[in-house]
C-alpha cells in the first residue's frame, strides 16, 4: 500500500490522538510532562511558555502531590503498592489486567449478541401483534387517506332558499 503524504499539522494531530489514547502507565514521558505543564500553568496562573523555565522536579512534585492529596487513603495505599512492584510483578499484573479486560470484552460481546437477538425477536413479535387500538388506528388512517367528497352545484334560487334554513333544516311553511 502506498504511503500517504501528510502535512505537519495532520501529523501532530495523529500523534496527539495517539498520546491521549494510551492506557494509564503507558504514556509517552514527553506527553506526560506536557500534561503536567498544562496543569501547573492553569493551577498557578503561569503562561505555558513560562512553565518551561521551571525545573521538572518542581512541576512533577506539585502535580503528584495534588492528585495524591485528592485520593482516599485506600487509593493511596493501592498506588504505593503499584509503585513498589518489581518489573516482573508489573508484567504479571499487566498480563492479568489484559486477560481480565479480554474476558470482560468477550462477555460484553456475548451479552450484546444475546440482546440483539432478543430485540429482533421482540420487534418481530410486536410487528405481528394486532391490537384493537392498532386496528382502529389503521382503519382511521385508511379513511383519512381516501376522503369521499361529492360536489354538487346548485342554482342561485336554491342557494337563496338554503340561506333561510335554521339549525333544524329547511323552514316549514305555515
Is 20 a residue whose pLDDT tops 70?
A: yes
Predicted model pTM: 0.49
How does residue 174 score in pLDDT terms, banded at 50, 70 and 90? low
pLDDT at 146: 65
* 162 secondary structure, DSSP code: H
How many C-beta atoms surround the C-beta of residue 88 within 10 A? Answer: 8
For residue 41, give Cα distances in angstroms to 33, 55, 68, 95, 133: 12, 13, 19, 36, 64
pLDDT on residue 63: 95
Nearest of 138, 22, 25, 167 to residue 83 by alpha carbon: 25
Confidence band for 34, pLDDT divided at 50, 70 and 90 = very high
Sign of CA dihedral 53, 57, 60, 65: negative
As a whole number of angstroms, the distance between CA 135 and CA 145 comes to 15
User: Can you give the three-state secondary structure of 48-90, one letter per residue?
Assistant: HHHHCCCCHHHHHHHHHHHHHHCCCHHHHHHHHHHHCCCHHHH
In the prediction, which pLDDT does 14 show? 87
pLDDT digits (tens, 9 = 90+) for 116-159: 888 888 877 777 666 677 777 777 777 777 667 777 888 888 88
CB burial of residue 59 (10 Å; 0-12, 13-18, 19+): buried
Kindly compute the dihedral angle of the four CA atoms of residues 25, 31, 33, 38, in this order, to the nearest 10 degrees: -120
pLDDT of the residue at 160: 82
Hey, which bits of 54-135 come out as E strands? none
User: Rg of the chain over CA atoms, in angstroms?
Assistant: 38
| Mean of pLDDT values over 150-172 | 79
Per-residue model confidence (pLDDT) at position 1: 64
Amino acid at each position: 500500500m502506498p504511503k500517504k503524504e501528510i502535512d505537519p499539522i495532520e501529523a501532530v494531530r495523529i500523534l496527539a490522538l495517539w498520546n491521549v489514547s494510551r492506557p494509564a502507565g503507558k504514556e509517552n514521558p514527553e506527553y506526560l510532562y506536557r500534561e503536567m505543564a498544562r496543569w501547573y500553568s492553569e493551577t498557578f496562573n503561569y503562561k505555558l511558555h513560562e512553565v518551561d523555565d521551571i525545573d521538572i522536579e518542581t512541576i512533577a512534585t506539585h502535580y503528584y502531590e495534588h492528585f495524591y492529596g485528592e485520593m482516599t487513603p485506600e487509593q493511596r495505599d493501592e498506588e504505593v503498592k503499584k509503585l513498589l512492584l518489581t518489573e516482573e510483578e508489573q508484567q504479571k499484573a499487566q498480563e492479568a489486567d489484559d486477560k481480565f479486560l479480554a474476558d470482560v470484552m468477550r462477555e460484553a460481546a456475548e451479552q450484546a449478541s444475546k440482546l440483539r437477538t432478543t430485540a429482533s425477536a421482540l420487534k418481530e413479535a410486536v410487528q405481528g401483534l394486532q391490537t384493537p387500538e392498532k386496528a382502529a388506528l389503521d382503519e382511521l388512517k385508511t379513511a383519512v387517506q381516501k376522503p369521499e367528497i361529492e360536489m354538487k352545484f346548485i342554482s342561485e334560487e336554491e342557494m337563496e332558499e338554503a340561506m333561510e334554513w335554521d339549525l333544524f333544516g329547511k323552514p316549514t311553511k305555515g
